[in-house]
């Protein structure tokens, strides 16, 4: 694994379709990140040009793999939702990693279970009778109401599915943008251990942090130094 291969995977994952990746992809990225960390530790001079270049590569790698994970997770959830409402598994389902397939199966199972427990007893009068212990009469709709009901049945689920998909994508896109934004920060990041509970604050990377005692977190150097000066944090990496 190197920077070029990671960037290439990131570009491929920008498409809406699920792409096949090597089963050990995330492990290879983990090894790559560990190698960079070890090289930075050996240099032991954060101010050197080489160290800064490696630090930039490290931050870029961590951001890229997070975005890749988010994009694949988003496509996995959307695929499971599509299957639940269409009963047609996507053709590229076999391109998911085993861990991603478990997410797909869990989401699909949860949707189907919820539908059986909440929706089917309403749509199936016999099921309602079994649940209530007696047959419940379903009011006969007037002709105009019946037409309206048919229209809602034909358009409603499809429209709601589109809204559900859009909501899922919006939430995942928000997290993806946050991860991408972190790669554009020029501030140096350091690792600190928090010594006491802190109120929520916005750091130089425009992210909100709510930290508690004994938390170990990566912070922009300027914020980290400020916490250390206040004796509420302890520097773990050299700065």
Contact of 115 with 141, CB cutoff 8 Å: no
Domain termination residue (choose one: 139, 159, 182): 182
**Are residues 169 and 201 both part of a single domain?**
no
Lowest mean pLDDT among 19-33, 40-54, 121-135: 121-135
| Residue 22 backbone class (left: φ over 0; alpha: ψ -120 to 50; beta: rest) | beta
- pTM, to two decimals: 0.57
Contact of 217 with 194, CB cutoff 8 Å: yes
**Are residues 8 and 73 both part of a single domain?**
yes
Domain that holds residue 197: 189-235
**Are residues 163 and 178 both part of a single domain?**
yes
**Are residues 147 and 205 both part of a single domain?**
no
- Helices 25-43 and 3-12, interaxial angle, to 10°? 140
**Are residues 216 and 177 both part of a single domain?**
no
**Are residues 43 and 148 both part of a single domain?**
yes
Give pLDDT tens digits for 164-190. Answer: 556 555 655 655 555 555 444 444 778
Domain termination residue (choose one: 166, 182, 198): 182
**Are residues 218 and 117 both part of a single domain?**
no
Lowest mean pLDDT among 72-76, 110-114, 129-133, 190-194: 129-133
The sign of the torsion formed by the CA atoms of 53, 59, 63, 68 equals positive
Q: Look at residues 23, 104, 25, 106 and name the one whose alpha carbon lies nearest to residue 68.
A: 25
Distance in angstroms (rounded) separating the CA atoms of residues 20 and 104:
15
**Are residues 92 and 207 both part of a single domain?**
no
The yes-or-no verdict on residue 143 having pLDDT over 50 is: no
First to last CA, the chain: 28
Q: Look at residues 118, 116, 108, 101 and name the one whose alpha carbon lies nearest to residue 86.
A: 108
> Cα angle at 42 between 36 and 45, to 5 degrees?
100
Overall domain count for the chain: 2
pLDDT bin (cut points 50, 70, 90) of residue 30 is very high
pLDDT bin (cut points 50, 70, 90) of residue 148 is very low
**Are residues 137 and 225 both part of a single domain?**
no
pLDDT bin (cut points 50, 70, 90) of residue 130 is low
**Are residues 219 and 163 both part of a single domain?**
no
Distance in angstroms (rounded) separating the CA atoms of residues 215 and 221:
16
């Amino acid at each position: 694994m190197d920077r070029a291969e990671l960037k290439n995977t990131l570009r491929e994952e920008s498409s809406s379709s699920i792409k096949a990746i090597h089963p050990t992809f995330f492990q290879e990225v983990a090894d790559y990140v560990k190698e960079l960390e070890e090289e930075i530790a050996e240099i032991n001079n954060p101010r050197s040009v080489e160290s800064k270049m490696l630090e930039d590569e490290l931050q870029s790698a961590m951001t890229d793999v997070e975005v890749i994970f988010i994009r694949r997770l988003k496509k996995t959830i959307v695929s499971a939702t599509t299957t639940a409402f269409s009963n047609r598994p996507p053709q590229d389902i076999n391109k998911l990693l085993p861990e991603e397939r478990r997410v797909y199966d869990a989401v699909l199972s949860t949707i189907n279970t919820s539908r059986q427990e909440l929706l089917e007893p309403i749509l199936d009068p016999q099921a309602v009778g079994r649940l209530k212990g007696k047959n419940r009469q379903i009011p006969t709709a007037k002709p105009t109401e019946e037409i309206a009901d048919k229209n809602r049945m034909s358009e409603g689920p499809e429209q709601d599915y589109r809204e559900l998909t859009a909501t899922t994508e919006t939430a995942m896109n928000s997290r993806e943008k946050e991860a991408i934004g972190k790669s554009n920060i020029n501030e140096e990041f350091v690792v600190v251990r928090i010594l006491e509970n802190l109120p929520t604050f916005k750091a130089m990377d425009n992210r909100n942090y709510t930290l508690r005692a004994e938390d170990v977190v990566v912070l922009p150097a300027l914020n980290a130094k400020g916490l250390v000066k206040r004796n509420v944090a302890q520097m773990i990496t050299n700065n």
